[in-house]
Chain A
Amino acid sequence: MSSLAYGETGNPWFSWTYVHDNSQTIRAALVDHIVITVWSVAIAAAIAVPLAVLAYWVRSLATPILTSAGVLYTIPSLALLAFLAPFLGTGRITVVVALVMYALLIIVRNTLTGLMQVPGDVREAATAMGYSRLARLTRVELPLALPGILVGLRLATVSTVALVTVGAIVGSHGALGGLILSGFRNNFYKAQIATAALLCVALALILDLILLGVSRALTPWTRRRAS
């Protein structure tokens, strides 16, 4: 394995040979990274949006919901994984559960902010038109809060992509983080570390751009107002 040699010339920061020889491994790690990210953010959103609506409807619940999500968010990522691993094992589930807990606060906070920004007279007009509470939520308030919700999703996605790498500490489920860690442990294989790190940043950027595109398509009125 010449790739494991020491020295500046033998251990470059980037090497097409590495990418070419390990394209299977890299692609598997990348797909794994995407799958973990998408599942985590999707589950987090499925929990966080209803929670935010609950906090919006029952104002007295807003503080406890935000505070407990804030405490979860304060738990260091490594410690959170360490809490979960003895009970959930060292599989992918542990990583996804930890990531969901982190994404929760970001999405709850942004959704709630979005809902709070719905103008009072709009809400009153909807009620006066005979909307029920649920219809008002789904047809008036949630659509108007959509920009806030989508900002939350974008922030959650970008930070989740970066956090997946921490999962490498529990077995081999850090996806690209696994490549980074094993690259470091196997004679500081720079090409492997740099490639995986670069892919992480690129993935975060691409997912962010996709969500930006989705949010522009879903909320055309925000653009019209801006221009």
Chain B
Amino acid sequence: MSSLQAMMDWLNDPLNWTNPDGILVRLREHLVISVLAVLFGALVAWPVGVWLGRRGSASGLIVVISNVTLAVPVTAMLTILPLTFIGFGKPAVVVALAIFAIPPLLANAYTGVHEIDPEVRESARGMGLSEWQALTRVELPLAVPYLATGLRIAVVQVIATAALASFVNGGGLGQIIAAGFGALPPEKGYGQVLAGAVLITALALLIDALMALAQRKLTPANLRNAARK
């Protein structure tokens, strides 16, 4: 296959790695965008999810939120946000990706806190823990398996979706594919297109594996069976 050969050639050119818009720079952009998006997503979703989980039934609301975000194309969000007050550049991309990271984070935070046995909560209060202490020392540790599951889903999804930032010239590894598709005639860019696809897929699968490992390490052994996904 000549496309595969062209891909190997493209990946073997050291300049394609070290150029100002080379693989290493794109990889850094990709990771920075993704980390910021998950961070902001978690900053919003976790407190809200924990609060809703303690208050009681909000599962209907959470289902609606996840369904609506499923129906909104990421491409639409990525093109619309830069044209609002947020402006062009990285912030718009980060906000767009953060919005799509919220549903898994929110749903799992809600379930994690909601599923806690009310008796556990009562005994924590009965032992003289304040509301805040009961939350931080009893409820949140018990919710860790769910929080970790949500975080893992969100991270993997954001890493994958960040490739679409290239639609609005937002940086990241997707830019390599977009540039390859921009070549004329199209066949000329196929080596680069395939190279970009391999890099993004490798990153997504690697991050997925790392998150699975981290999730295992973070979850206390006696809770490991609680949040099987």
Contacts and interface: CB of A to CB of B under 8 A. Distances in A.
A169 B201 contact: no
Interface stretch (A18-26, A35-43, A129-137, A157-165): A157-165
A161 B79 CA distance: 17
B166 interface: yes
A196 B75 CA distance: 11
Contacts, number: 128
Interface in B189-217: 190, 193-194, 196-198, 200-201, 204-205, 208
A57 interface: no
B163 A78 contact: yes
A77 B201 CA distance: 10
Contacts of B73: 161-163, 165-166, 177, 180, 197, 200
A169 B75 CA distance: 10
A158 B163 contact: no
A78 B79 contact: no
A181 interface: yes
B178 A169 contact: yes
Contacts of B71: 158, 161-162, 200-201, 204-205, 208
A74 interface: yes
A181 B200 contact: no
Interface residues of A, number: 43
Contact of A165 (B76, B156, B198): B76
Contact of B193 (A74, A86, A194): A86
Given A76-B161, A158-B70, A177-B73, A87 B201 contact: no
B65 to A, nearest CB: 14
B20 interface: no
Given A82-B193, A162-B74, A166-B164, A74 B79 contact: no
B209 to A, nearest CB: 10
B176 to A, nearest CB: 9
Given A86-B3, A158-B67, A194-B80, A78 B166 contact: yes
B75 A155 contact: no
B80 A193 contact: yes
Contacts of A31: none
A90 B186 contact: yes
B167 A169 contact: yes
B201 A181 contact: no
Interface in B169-190: 174, 177-178, 180-181, 186-187, 190
A208 B67 CA distance: 10
A168 B75 contact: yes
Contacts of A180: 73, 75-76, 79
Contacts of A122: none
A79 B173 CA distance: 10
B197 A79 contact: yes
A183 B197 contact: no
Contact of A82 (B79, B160, B180, B204): B180
B74 A78 contact: no
A83 B194 contact: yes
Contacts of A166: 73-75, 164
Contacts of A174: 75
Contacts of A177: 73, 75
A29 interface: no
Interface string A186-201: 0010100110110011
Which of B3, B74, B80, B197 has most chain A Cβ within 10 Å? B197
A85 interface: yes
A71 interface: yes
19 contacts: A74-B160, A75-B204, A76-B204, A78-B163, A78-B164, A78-B166, A79-B163, A82-B197, A85-B186, A87-B3, A158-B70, A162-B73, A169-B178, A169-B181, A181-B75, A193-B83, A194-B80, A197-B76, A204-B70
Given A82-B180, A86-B194, 12 more contacts: A75-B204, A76-B161, A76-B204, A77-B164, A79-B198, A82-B177, A86-B190, A162-B74, A169-B181, A174-B75, A193-B83, A204-B71
Interface of A: 71, 74-80, 82-83, 85-87, 90, 155, 158-159, 161-163, 165-166, 168-171, 174, 177, 180-181, 183-184, 188, 190, 193-194, 196-197, 200-201, 204-205, 208
